[in-house]
A and B are shown apart, each in its own frame.
Chain A
């Protein structure tokens, strides 16, 4: 399913049969994904699908039942020094300012004072001064969590729902930051998010996960092709229009939904359908092409 794209194909993260069982419950079941250098990999799934468990297992926070995870080409835990992560809630010291938080974490993650100032400006926290982190808004805390993940110039950033709780301006800032880091500094990303349309704007590859299993792995280009195009038709008598068009369209491709008639995979015949309806005295008040959104594709995939 995955086509090798013409880009640097150094593998940054590769899991083979990664599984995590809690008793009889399989939180992860034989998940194998590959993230290449330069990818922005979107991990998509419902609540409880296994996205966070997957990320934690890759990072060693949760010990896998079976399977392997290679970071930057090997199983050496020291390679994790080049991985930054924001998992669940940001891990910050509320009683300290943003800068002090970064200074403390720089002891273990690396980074000079100049790096700290640069990172704070990058995430939009350059001007918060000595305000304690416990007084930050949710969006600011998220940004501080991302700032901590950026210490040590990581090659891979694993972000679990990084835009949760952010306002639209904040979402755009984080999106721009991700794109900047990916394009200008070559950082690879693994991101999970419920805001599928947002993820759809930046991801280069997707993994759909449900009940701990990887359902599908596609590149952005492949997904664009897979998302179905439909013709949406609305008339004064939709039932009559549906019955009429059934004579011209494959029964698998036509549905009567929400008081509209929807026809799949026939977007080049839109004029023909309009002519058929008009010639049969059915007034058309709505007629357009629509592509399936990532959200709709996801719902169809996972139910």
Chain B
């Protein structure tokens, strides 16, 4: 597994797409900062928890992860790794780990850029509490769902275009489907359990402890589901 991770690291950071997407994320972060600070300077705590949700990292990941994963499948690198004795499980998990490491690095970098820009524009962070930091950490945890969901669609479709489209559209369509289901079963809170709503909540407000717990548990569940489904597909796949 160590050699696979070393390979993933070297391969990932040799790809132009990584750097382009990173720069785009930083650009969106600064753009978000500009728009937030346009006119009246926002409160530090509101600005703080809005940095990550405003950097469009979810869209960037939904595009980048399928590009990285499907390119490898297209050029046959995964089949050659299998041919050299590496298990499908280890290959998949090395990609999941490295993709999430990249996401964490970019999220933290964007966060720091956002904070720095805010400081330059006069945002004061003196009222930041542990819960604001928890919001930011949970947002990063939720981004893991996007990474793992994109990997799942990449493994399932084996096509860059379909995987990107699915990674963007399917999560966005599900809230509408859930709202339809809510009308049928007369339960109003169903869409609150889909991860897209988590980002909205975390990016706007400090939440109650029970809501943090709910978000944490369901993020864990969604990550587990996507990782498991990806593993089941790749385990049976012929290359």
Binding site for B on A (CB under 8 A): 56, 59-63, 77-81, 83-85, 87-96, 100, 103-105, 107-109, 148, 152, 158
Contact = CB atoms under 8 A, between A and B. Distances in A.
Given A89-B76, A92-B75, A95-B15, A81 B84 contact: yes
B80 interface: yes
5 contacts: A56-B83, A60-B83, A91-B77, A94-B75, A148-B80
A82 to B, nearest CB: 9
Interface in B1-49: 3-4, 6-7, 10-11, 14-16
Nearest to A71: B85
A108 B76 contact: no
Contacts of B6: 107-108
A85 B14 contact: no
Contact of B82 (A61, A81, A88, A107): A61
A80 B79 contact: no
A108 B239 contact: no
B87 interface: yes
A148 B4 CA distance: 16
A80 B238 contact: no
Contacts of B77: 91, 93
Interface residues of B, number: 24
Contact of A107 (B10, B75, B236): B10
B120 to A, nearest CB: 36
A87 B7 contact: no
B82 A59 contact: yes
Interface in B225-239: 236, 238-239
Contacts of B190: none
Contacts of B236: 63
SS of A interface (majority): mixed
Contacts of A56: 79, 83, 238-239
B11 A79 contact: no
Given A91-B76, A107-B3, A59 B83 contact: yes
B238 A61 contact: yes
B187 interface: no
A158 B82 CA distance: 14
Contacts of A158: 83
Contacts of A83: 83-85
B4 to A, nearest CB: 6
B86 interface: yes
Given A60-B82, A87-B79, A91-B80, A108 B7 contact: yes
A152 to B, nearest CB: 8
Interface string B66-109: 00000000011101111111110000000000000000000000
A61 B84 CA distance: 10
Contact of A108 (B4, B15, B87): B4
A108 B3 contact: yes
Nearest to A55: B83
A214 B236 CA distance: 26
Contact of B75 (A77, A85, A93): A93
Nearest to B9: A107
B17 to A, nearest CB: 9
Interface in B196-239: 236, 238-239
B238 A93 contact: no
